[in-house]
Chains A and B, each alone.
Chain A
């Protein structure tokens, strides 16, 4: 078979090991494998009529190409947030802007027929898409159109519905815990209240789990709007009871104050998402006023997903790759590989749109004390939900 593979959305550590394992397995099983560059952008922009196009948007893969990639984070195929089902005019390649081209609706065009033509032209039999729910929802669209796909979930936020685990989450938590540990020397030396803002979009799991593991005093999560007066009082208690006279809190970038709104900036991407961020600085100003104490504010930001994958993201990256290949061998398409109830499994790809994955607040979070509350661990999966 001819297998295509692509990565979409934000980069995370663990993508490269997953690609490597797919390639090695595919070659060993007698298939050929083609890397598609820059997520769905590769299939949208690839132009069979242009002889330079293949070098730019495609990358034939073999064992030599992937030999060393598992040592690094990110994705060597590169990535994009392009959505061919809702392409903006700015994302529309020159070759598709012929004389009779007009957008389907202002600024939005569905280029799925073109994607299917390109897939046929490349003689691909099946496509492995690695991404978060945005990237994978377009893979599911192709499945509905009759093209065989297998979906592999990744996000540092661990927010893909239908799986307990997404590639990249463990490294993001590992990094956050390490940075929080290092920041203690700064916050402690100055006897301040430290506010550490973490990526996580609208899911509070990175803030919750990092705070839980790093022993941070308070964690603010996207799911639970907070009262700055109350938070300030709690942090003051924490600071006063700490012999080193400091306190630490984490805050999700998507957090909101009671009665407030999510803080976002910039233009929306093709999936309608804007960048979040800045709530930590606003909270810091507020807490300074409430407590009269000095704050130290740091966004960990992109550093959470920087660098090489940790063991879990190697493990899950390799194993998801093998499961994807098992599905292909068995002609099982339209599936997403997953980890559920502690076991590797696969689920229908349409599960993505059937729910939203958020922190189980009742089970894991103390909404009055603004901190993780983990009590019943038995029978929970490794990452607790």
Chain B
């Protein structure tokens, strides 16, 4: 038995950035396949934080930073949402002074420190030969860095925003769209009972996919997205028109958290940026709500229309993965192992034009994935285009590289 003897190699796996449903199934797929192929898998905890904070001393207690994964552990976790390895936005190449682990504070005293030498030594300390980071473009950009340093890295894309360049699909997006549709539809009874305009702010960072796909699926009348600065007057007119045409007298707009008024900028929830330089978005839904209410009377015989304003927020990525986010992580995990067994590294496993494939890892660093406005968004009607579906992949908006 391969398991009983010395493993053929040791694989480190970690999850970084925001949690999504589908991470645990991916960890499960990698672990089970690897063990069957004769490899050992070590789960690195809290994104890049665990591997950065390890104390290289055989007697030190590093149980908070990593755990050896077994079939029993991943089988139980594999059905659930979130990530049982936990996650963080830690970026080892840009560690603020106060984030440097205590035992390294004497060595790294700058305001911003690059702890990559420590990370590489820690990987060696744990005997890790291969690294499989699962994350969005921030998390994976540090995977690129380690690959450039000589580490054998194979990356798996995840984000509920579906905005990792090079792949049509990121783990978590489908569950997020499913939840958004489900929650939006269940709120119709409230919007209808009160005959209001309903404004639902959804996560999505700088990409509009999380608002576009549910709208296309019929969950909303209109959507506004970060890729197109919208005219609030135009939105008000369309929304009141939709409401008054609806026999139940309500209308719904999905507002992507990164959306901007024409002439405006992105709205941030608070001032602090994370290690990747990103601030937390949020608040545009509140502004859209008050503007809609204030302007609605003009299109409704002088009577203002009341608003139901709700942020779907974390609730679209809570809970267990749907079917797609159980199947794709299984496939991505096995694709990563396929590459590893063939001795190929520095790749990102992807879905490209509807098929499983892989791309060079640095595709993440050199591109941006956003909604292609001329192709997919109707700027007159503030909603997606509904045409030319022939030969398009499942989730319609692909990631063609320029």
- List chain A positions with a Cβ less than 8 A from chain B: 7, 11, 13, 15, 38, 72-75, 78-80, 179, 181-186, 188-191, 244-245, 296, 298-303, 305-308
Give Cα distance in the complex from A80 to B305, angstroms.
Answer: 12
Give Cα distance in the complex from A105 to B179, angstroms.
Answer: 49
Structural contact, B186 and A307, CB atoms closer than 8 A: yes
Structural contact, B187 and A78, CB atoms closer than 8 A: no
Q: Is B189 an interface residue (CB 8 A)?
A: yes
Q: Give the residues from 236 to 253 in chain B that come closer than 8 angstroms, CB to CB, to chain A.
A: 248-249
Structural contact, A182 and B193, CB atoms closer than 8 A: no
Give Cα distance in the complex from A13 to B308, angstroms.
Answer: 17
A296 neighbours in B (Cβ, 8 Å): 314
Q: Fill in one digit per residue for B64-92: 1 if any A CB lies within 8 Å of its CB, else 0.
A: 00000000000000001111001110000
B315 neighbours in A (Cβ, 8 Å): 179, 182-183, 298, 300, 303
Of all chain A residues, which has the CB nearest B192?
A74
- List chain B positions with a Cβ less than 8 A from chain A: 15, 18-19, 21, 23, 46, 80-83, 86-88, 183, 186-190, 192-195, 248-249, 308, 310-311, 313-315, 317-320
Q: A189-B19, A245-B86 are in contact. Are A73 and B310 (CB under 8 A)?
A: no
Q: Which of B186, B193, B319 contacts A303 (CB 8 A)?
A: B186
Structural contact, A185 and B80, CB atoms closer than 8 A: yes
In the complex, 19 of the A-B residue pairs with CB atoms within 8 angstroms, ordered by the A residue number, are: A11-B193, A73-B190, A79-B193, A79-B194, A80-B194, A186-B19, A190-B86, A190-B87, A191-B86, A191-B88, A244-B86, A245-B86, A296-B314, A298-B313, A299-B310, A302-B310, A303-B183, A303-B187, A307-B186
Structural contact, A182 and B19, CB atoms closer than 8 A: no
Structural contact, A78 and B190, CB atoms closer than 8 A: no
Q: A74-B189, A183-B314, A183-B318 are in contact. Are A188 and B82 (CB under 8 A)?
A: yes
Give Cα distance in the complex from A181 to B82, angstroms.
Answer: 12
Closest Cβ–Cβ distance, residue A89 to chain B (whole Å) = 13
Structural contact, A185 and B194, CB atoms closer than 8 A: no
Structural contact, B190 and A11, CB atoms closer than 8 A: yes
Structural contact, A189 and B83, CB atoms closer than 8 A: yes
Q: A298-B314, A307-B189 are in contact. Are A188 and B86 (CB under 8 A)?
A: yes
Structural contact, B195 and A182, CB atoms closer than 8 A: no
Closest Cβ–Cβ distance, residue A311 to chain B (whole Å) = 17
A305 neighbours in B (Cβ, 8 Å): 190
Q: A74-B190, A75-B193, A190-B87 are in contact. Are A182 and B310 (CB under 8 A)?
A: no
Of all chain B residues, which has the CB nearest A188?
B82
Structural contact, A78 and B19, CB atoms closer than 8 A: no
Structural contact, B21 and A185, CB atoms closer than 8 A: yes
In the complex, which of the residues B23, B81, B189, B310 has the most CB atoms of chain A within 10 Å of its own CB atom? B189
Q: Which of A72, A80, A245 contacts B189 (CB 8 A)?
A: A72
A188 neighbours in B (Cβ, 8 Å): 82, 86
Q: A185-B81, A188-B82 are in contact. Are A13 and B189 (CB under 8 A)?
A: yes
Q: Which of A11, A183, A299 contacts B194 (CB 8 A)?
A: A11
Structural contact, A78 and B193, CB atoms closer than 8 A: yes
Closest Cβ–Cβ distance, residue B372 to chain A (whole Å) = 30
Give Cα distance in the complex from A373 to B305, angstroms.
Answer: 43
Q: Which of B23, B46, B308 contacts A302 (CB 8 A)?
A: B308
Extra pairs beyond A181-B319, A186-B19 (4, CB < 8 Å): A183-B318, A188-B86, A303-B186, A308-B186
Closest Cβ–Cβ distance, residue B287 to chain A (whole Å) = 13
Of all chain B residues, which has the CB nearest A244?
B86
Q: A38-B195, A189-B19 are in contact. Are A306 and B86 (CB under 8 A)?
A: no
Structural contact, A299 and B311, CB atoms closer than 8 A: yes
Closest Cβ–Cβ distance, residue A31 to chain B (whole Å) = 25
A75 neighbours in B (Cβ, 8 Å): 193
Closest Cβ–Cβ distance, residue A343 to chain B (whole Å) = 30
Structural contact, A306 and B183, CB atoms closer than 8 A: yes
Of all chain B residues, which has the CB nearest A74?
B189
Q: Which of A38, A181, A302 contacts B187 (CB 8 A)?
A: A302
Give Cα distance in the complex from A185 to B81, angstroms.
Answer: 6
Structural contact, B190 and A302, CB atoms closer than 8 A: yes
A72 neighbours in B (Cβ, 8 Å): 189
Structural contact, A191 and B192, CB atoms closer than 8 A: no
A191 neighbours in B (Cβ, 8 Å): 46, 86, 88
Closest Cβ–Cβ distance, residue B42 to chain A (whole Å) = 19
Closest Cβ–Cβ distance, residue A36 to chain B (whole Å) = 14
A299 neighbours in B (Cβ, 8 Å): 310-311, 313
Closest Cβ–Cβ distance, residue B92 to chain A (whole Å) = 18
In the complex, which of the residues B15, B190, B318 has the most CB atoms of chain A within 10 Å of its own CB atom? B190
A73 neighbours in B (Cβ, 8 Å): 186, 189-190
B193 neighbours in A (Cβ, 8 Å): 7, 11, 15, 74-75, 78-79
Q: A74-B193, A185-B82, A190-B88 are in contact. Are A306 and B187 (CB under 8 A)?
A: yes
Q: Which of A38, A182, A306 contacts B81 (CB 8 A)?
A: A182
Closest Cβ–Cβ distance, residue B268 to chain A (whole Å) = 14
Closest Cβ–Cβ distance, residue B324 to chain A (whole Å) = 17
B86 neighbours in A (Cβ, 8 Å): 188-191, 244-245
B313 neighbours in A (Cβ, 8 Å): 298-299
Give Cα distance in the complex from A186 to B87, angstroms.
Answer: 10
Give Cα distance in the complex from A183 to B21, angstroms.
Answer: 11
Of all chain B residues, which has the CB nearest A306?
B186
Structural contact, A182 and B194, CB atoms closer than 8 A: no
